[in-house]
């Protein structure tokens, strides 16, 4: 293996979105830290500046937790200030964060050679840092999957730069493309569950949804041949979903069903594009063609409006009169943990051990009532 490419341990790193997405004070982050620690989940933070990341790291579930950071979406590696922003994070946190994520950009297709040259310079700067942090370029559905794969293949010699495959973004892109081939005059993004056209199009739409899983597996098979670290954003979705409060049709739990206003095949609900069985198939293929130590998975599932009652953790919110948002946060964390268990089950089913001896994540001590009280 090339210098700087190996990851410690024999198991994939398992993380989940750790971000203040619900209005409230630091007690919400204390709750997230406690529940991540109990479940053994590493955090993926979103940070606009190094100072914001330093603040978020105060809530790191435990010191050795595997950690990634999603950087601002507007970072452009072609611009000197863009690469400098990446390096400012990497230099300051190279021994606390193993990977940083940036979005793909249209310039990857429009100015491929210049983009590769810029990433080569960033790669060399990262390789010189303690810890040799990685930079992952996330697929966000702006480019064709084929081009994205070709571009990542062109980075084969860059030890510190690789891909972040967002299976939700890729799946939605595949579904929209398949639908457009059948109905060139219709954009799937214009449909919603209450669209009067839905009865005429639902059958084709559902057939297109079934394209998502094999297409994701095809991309994984291709990128896995590079024998490089790969990061994944894991979440489900469906083109008719309106469940996300952020206006997107993905970033759903793998257990989520999609309500329909019409009866389709005897039901007023439909399944997401992957579901638990789809995730298991994706993880199985990923582990068949990649060494586990090269893989990391982040559950990038958004919160919803649903709530879950606080029990022991209610001590964190003793100063809150209205605990609605605390219960929303608790429901979100419960959903992440449920999906984390599914991910762990999928890894185990793929023939991987989850014993403490082989895990790269130091198993934390479960938080007691006394520890929760101290967090405040």
Contact 295, 362 (CB under 8 A): no
Q: Alpha carbon of 3 to those of 127, 137, 151, 220: distances in Å?
A: 9, 20, 22, 23
Identify the CA nearest to 103 among candidates 121, 127, 77. Answer: 77
Number of structural domains the chain divides into:
1
Identify the CA nearest to 311 among candidates 16, 40, 31. Answer: 31
Can you name the residues that pair with 299 across neighbouring β-strands?
16, 234
Q: Is residue 140 part of a domain?
A: yes
Digit-coded pLDDT (tens) for 211-249 = 999 999 999 999 999 999 999 999 999 999 999 888 899
Q: Is the pLDDT of residue 352 over 90?
A: no
Q: Dihedral of the CA atoms 53, 245, 23, 94 (nearest 10)?
A: -10
Give the range of the structural domain holding residue 325, as residue numbers without chain letter.
Answer: 13-175+215-259+275-374
Q: Is the pLDDT of residue 28 over 50?
A: yes
Q: Is the pLDDT of residue 374 over 50?
A: no
Q: Is the pLDDT of residue 108 over 50?
A: yes
Residue 9: its pLDDT value, please? 52
Residue 15: its pLDDT value, please? 99
Residue 83: its pLDDT value, please? 96
Q: Is residue 109 part of a domain?
A: yes
Q: Is residue 8 part of a domain?
A: no
Average pLDDT, integer, range 320-338? 97
Q: What is the mean pLDDT of the chain?
A: 91
Query: At 351, is the pLDDT very low, low, confident or very high (cuts 50, 70, 90)?
Result: confident
Residue 207: its pLDDT value, please? 97
More confident residue, 2 or 55: 55
DSSP-H helix ranges across 139-261: 145-153, 167-182, 198-209, 212-224
Q: Is the pLDDT of residue 7 over 80?
A: no
Query: At 363, is the pLDDT very low, low, confident or very high (cuts 50, 70, 90)?
Result: very low
Q: Alpha carbon of 50 to those of 55, 71, 73: distances in Å?
A: 9, 10, 15
CA atoms within 13 A on the CB side of 155: 34
**CATH number of residue 360's parent domain:** 3.20.20.150
Digit-coded pLDDT (tens) for 83-99 = 999 999 999 999 999 99
Q: Is the pLDDT of residue 298 over 60?
A: yes
Q: Is residue 99 part of a domain?
A: yes
Q: Is residue 220 part of a domain?
A: yes
Q: Is residue 292 part of a domain?
A: yes
The answer for residues whose C-beta is within 8 angstroms of residue 91's C-beta and 6 or more apart is 129
Q: Is the pLDDT of residue 358 over 50?
A: no
Q: Is residue 101 part of a domain?
A: yes
- Please give the model's pTM, rounded to 2 decimal places: 0.90
Which is it for the CA torsion 200, 201, 203, 204, positive or negative?
A: positive
Query: At 371, is the pLDDT very low, low, confident or very high (cuts 50, 70, 90)?
Result: very low
Of the given ranges (234-238, 257-261, 325-329), which has the lowest mean pLDDT? 257-261
CA 220, 225, 227 angle in degrees (round to 5)?
105
Average pLDDT, integer, range 40-53? 98
Query: At 10, is the pLDDT very low, low, confident or very high (cuts 50, 70, 90)?
Result: confident
Q: Is residue 201 part of a domain?
A: no
């Amino acid at each position: 293996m090339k210098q700087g490419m190996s990851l410690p341990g024999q198991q994939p790193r398992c993380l989940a979105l750790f971000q203040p997405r619900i209005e409230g004070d630091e007690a919400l982050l204390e709750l997230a830290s406690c529940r991540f620690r109990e479940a053994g989940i590493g955090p993926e933070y979103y940070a606009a500046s190094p100072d914001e990341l330093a603040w978020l790291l105060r809530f790191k579930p435990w010191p050795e937790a595997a950690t990634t950071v999603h950087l601002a979406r507007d970072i452009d590696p072609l611009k000197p200030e863009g690469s400098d922003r990446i390096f400012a994070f990497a230099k300051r946190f190279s021994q606390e964060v193993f990977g940083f994520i940036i979005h793909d950009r249209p310039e990857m297709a429009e100015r491929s050679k210049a983009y590769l040259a810029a990433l080569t310079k960033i790669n060399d700067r990262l390789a010189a840092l303690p810890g040799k942090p990685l930079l992952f370029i996330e697929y966000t559905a702006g480019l064709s999957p084929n081009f994205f794969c070709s571009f990542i293949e062109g980075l084969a010699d860059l030890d510190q730069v690789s891909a972040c495959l967002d299976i939700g973004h890729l799946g939605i892109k595949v579904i929209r493309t398949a639908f457009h081939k059948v109905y060139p005059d219709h954009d799937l993004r214009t449909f919603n569950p209450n669209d009067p056209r839905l009865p005429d199009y639902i059958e084709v739409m559902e057939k297109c949804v079934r394209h998502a899983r094999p297409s994701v597996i095809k991309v994984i098979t291709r990128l896995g041949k590079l024998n490089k670290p790969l990061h994944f954003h894991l979440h489900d979705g469906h083109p008719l979903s309106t469940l996300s409060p952020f206006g997107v049709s993905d970033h759903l739990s793998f257990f989520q069903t999609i309500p329909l206003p019409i009866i389709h095949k005897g039901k007023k609900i439909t399944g997401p594009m992957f579901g638990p069985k789809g995730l298991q198939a994706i993880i199985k293929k990923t582990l068949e063609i990649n060494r586990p130590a090269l893989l990391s998975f982040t559950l990038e599932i958004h919160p919803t409006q649903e709530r879950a009652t606080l029990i022991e953790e209610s001590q964190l919110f003793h100063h809150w009169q209205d605990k609605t948002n605390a219960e929303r946060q608790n429901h979100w964390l419960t959903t992440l943990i449920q999906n984390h268990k599914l991910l762990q089950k999928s890894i185990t089913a793929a023939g991987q051990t989850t014993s403490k001896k082989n895990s790269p994540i130091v198993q934390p001590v479960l938080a007691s009532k006394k520890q929760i009280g101290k967090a405040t």
